[in-house]
């Protein structure tokens, strides 16, 4: 079947985000204003916000987190954009990946030339147990939740299935966490921008200060294997396999390709785009792959006319470490069953041949669910334009990819970006 493509090109010309973390006293509107201001500053030639013709935001559940449903017009008001069309889309943790896609389609259809994308979530106002319950409303409330599943539990299923089929061990997952913390340390926006080794030292200092016995570990892996320091959440997923509870907002500016040069000389052309869906975990034929992501990636590569080996920089949805392992196989960077060997050999480190999650990923950077997909785009924007500072991935990064999952992988959205100058 012929590849179905947009009728006209779309370019990313601006990107900004808040730090990810916990911000008492700031609501999603406040956070979005910060992201919007940073996005404005990122547009090389400047622009008038009055030229924005539509707003699309991704937001998982301000409804339950903040008691505020119907967020789109409030966000539009916060940045002075009324009366333009303001829409909110929800796709669990892929909400702002979907917002980006809807904005691309709005421009691609010819209905608008300049569209603002938002991603936002404010989780930390609720106690942690309530946050967990809100997140759990994205898993199957009829058949998965009654069995006692949590999100870490659903991803742990994929982990045990993968370990059984291919021979990976919990140590594989720990290596992903170590790598992503290593990257996050170089990202000033990261919620946990500390090496595992730094976290070990701070735990030792804290114990000494309280007059308790100072724990000793031989290595980062030794620390991560310690049941006290790194307790199981849903075996084999431990605390350091899980992304944190986060607040954050992201703002992206998309324009029609033909007007991009009036915003910047370094636009990123969005040449690949794909979206897939899948059944709940118990209905899947295979638990060692996320089919929705494979489908989304196939579409994205086909629309872009590129192959996995062409991609130079890549952000994947590591809500749990196992998800990063499965992602690098689903995206075609490694064959099924070989991703874990690549991780153990260090191939996915920032300076390795296949850098994954130079931002620190969801694990270290943070995971404000509705902001996550757009947040991945901010990293690719900075990396591809050579603006990532100390965490810059070396080389001519002309092609970048983002991989954003919803729920247990029942939704996936992939985008491919190209820099032509």
Q: Which residues are the active-site residues?
A: 93, 367
Residue 215: both structure tokens together: 């724990």
φ, ψ at 103 (rounded to 5°): -65, -40
Minimum CB–partner distance for residue 175 and other proteins (Å):
17
Burial class (CB in 10 A: 0-12, 13-18, 19+), 7: exposed
233 binds other proteins (CB under 8 A): yes
Minimum CB–partner distance for residue 283 and other proteins (Å):
7
Residue 16: both structure tokens together: 């900004």
Minimum CB–partner distance for residue 415 and other proteins (Å):
29
Q: Which is nearer to other proteins, 235 or 258 (CB)?
A: 235
Q: Out of 148, 211, 213, 390, which residue is the one contacting other proteins (CB under 8 A)? A: 148
Give whole-number Cα distances, 255 to 190, 241, 338, in Å: 28, 37, 39
Question: Which residues, 6+ apart, have CB-to-CB distance to 206 below 8 Å?
Answer: none
Q: Out of 143, 258, 389, 395, which residue is the one contacting other proteins (CB under 8 A)? A: 143
Q: Out of 84, 131, 232, 306, which residue is the one contacting other proteins (CB under 8 A)? A: 232
Q: Which is nearer to other proteins, 182 or 318 (CB)?
A: 318
What is the distance between the alpha carbons of residues 405 and 95, in angstroms, rounded to a whole number? 9
Q: Out of 158, 374, 399, 401, which residue is the one contacting other proteins (CB under 8 A)? A: 158
Q: Out of 47, 149, 173, 223, which residue is the one contacting other proteins (CB under 8 A)? A: 149
What is the distance between the alpha carbons of residues 5 and 274, in angstroms, rounded to a whole number? 10
State whether residue 183 is helix, strand or coil: helix
Which one of 98-106, 147-155, 257-265, 371-379 is the stretch in contact with other proteins (CB under 8 A)?
Answer: 147-155
Q: Which is nearer to other proteins, 79 or 158 (CB)?
A: 158
Which one of 192-200, 218-226, 232-240, 373-381 is the stretch in contact with other proteins (CB under 8 A)?
Answer: 232-240
Minimum CB–partner distance for residue 282 and other proteins (Å):
5
> What letters, b where the CB count within 10 A reaches 16 and e where it falls short, cover 175-189?
bbbbbbbbbbbbbeb
407 binds other proteins (CB under 8 A): no
What is the distance between the alpha carbons of residues 411 and 402, in angstroms, rounded to a whole number? 14
Minimum CB–partner distance for residue 274 and other proteins (Å):
23
Q: Out of 110, 231, 305, 386, which residue is the one contacting other proteins (CB under 8 A)? A: 231
Minimum CB–partner distance for residue 341 and other proteins (Å):
20
Under 8 Å between Cβ of 365 and 179: no
Residue list 266-295, contact with other proteins (CB under 8 A): 280-283, 287
Q: How many residues bind other proteins (CB under 8 A)?
A: 36
Under 8 Å between Cβ of 173 and 321: yes
Under 8 Å between Cβ of 45 and 262: yes
194-201 long-range CB contacts below 8 Å, 24 or more apart? 195/220, 196/220, 196/223, 196/224, 196/240, 199/223, 200/229
For strand 237-238 and strand 247-256, is the pairing parallel, antiparallel, or unpaired? unpaired
Minimum CB–partner distance for residue 235 and other proteins (Å):
4
Q: Out of 33, 115, 157, 260, which residue is the one contacting other proteins (CB under 8 A)? A: 157
329 binds other proteins (CB under 8 A): no
Half-sphere exposure of 120 (CA within 13 A, CB side): 32
167 binds other proteins (CB under 8 A): no
Of residues 283, 299, 288, 325, the one with CA closest to residue 401: 299
Q: Out of 62, 96, 124, 150, which residue is the one contacting other proteins (CB under 8 A)? A: 150
Q: Out of 14, 97, 184, 236, which residue is the one contacting other proteins (CB under 8 A)? A: 236
- Given the rule CB under 8 A, which residues bind other proteins? 129, 132-133, 136, 140, 142-150, 152-153, 156-161, 164, 170, 231-237, 280-283, 287
């Amino acid at each position: 079947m012929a590849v179905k493509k947009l009728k006209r090109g779309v370019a990313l010309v601006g990107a900004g985000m808040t730090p990810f973390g916990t911000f008492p006293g700031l609501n999603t509107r406040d956070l979005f204003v910060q992201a919007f201001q940073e996005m404005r500053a990122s547009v090389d030639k400047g622009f008038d916000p009055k030229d924005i013709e539509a707003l699309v935001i991704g937001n998982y559940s301000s409804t339950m987190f903040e008691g505020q449903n119907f967020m789109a017009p409030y966000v539009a008001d916060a940045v002075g954009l009324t009366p333009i069309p303001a829409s909110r889309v929800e796709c669990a943790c892929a909400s702002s990946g979907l917002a980006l896609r809807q904005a691309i389609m709005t421009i691609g259809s010819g209905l608008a030339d300049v569209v603002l994308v938002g991603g936002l979530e404010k989780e930390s106002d609720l106690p942690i147990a309530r946050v967990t319950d809100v997140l759990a409303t994205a898993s199957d409330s009829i058949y998965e939740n009654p069995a006692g599943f949590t999100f870490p539990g659903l991803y742990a299923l994929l982990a045990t299935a993968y370990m059984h089929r291919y021979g990976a061990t919990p140590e594989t997952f720990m290596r992903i966490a170590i790598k992503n913390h290593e990257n996050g340390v170089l990202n000033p926006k990261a919620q946990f921008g500390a090496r595992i080794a730094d976290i070990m030292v701070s735990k030792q200092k804290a114990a000494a200060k309280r007059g308790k016995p100072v724990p000793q570990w031989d290595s980062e892996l030794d620390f991560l294997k310690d049941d006290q320091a790194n307790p199981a959440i849903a075996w084999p997923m431990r605390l350091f396999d899980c992304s944190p509870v986060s607040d954050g907002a992201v703002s992206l500016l998309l324009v029609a390709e033909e007007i991009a040069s009036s915003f910047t000389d370094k636009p990123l052309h969005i040449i690949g785009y794909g979206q897939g869906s899948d059944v709940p975990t118990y209905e899947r034929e295979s638990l060692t792959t996320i089919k929705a992501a494979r489908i989304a990636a196939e579409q994205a590569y086909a629309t872009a006319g590129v192959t996995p080996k062409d991609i130079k920089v890549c952000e994947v949805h590591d809500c749990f470490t196992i998800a990063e392992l499965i992602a690098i196989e689903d995206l075609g960077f490694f064959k099924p069953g070989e991703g874990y060997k690549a991780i153990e050999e260090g191939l996915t480190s920032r300076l390795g041949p296949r850098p994954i999650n130079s931002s620190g990923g969801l694990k270290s950077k943070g995971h404000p669910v509705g902001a996550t997909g757009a947040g991945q785009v901010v990293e690719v924007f900075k990396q591809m334009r050579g603006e990532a500072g100390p965490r810059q991935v070396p080389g001519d990064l002309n092609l970048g990819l983002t991989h954003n999952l919803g729920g247990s992988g029942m939704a996936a959205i992939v985008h491919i970006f190209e820099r032509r100058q």
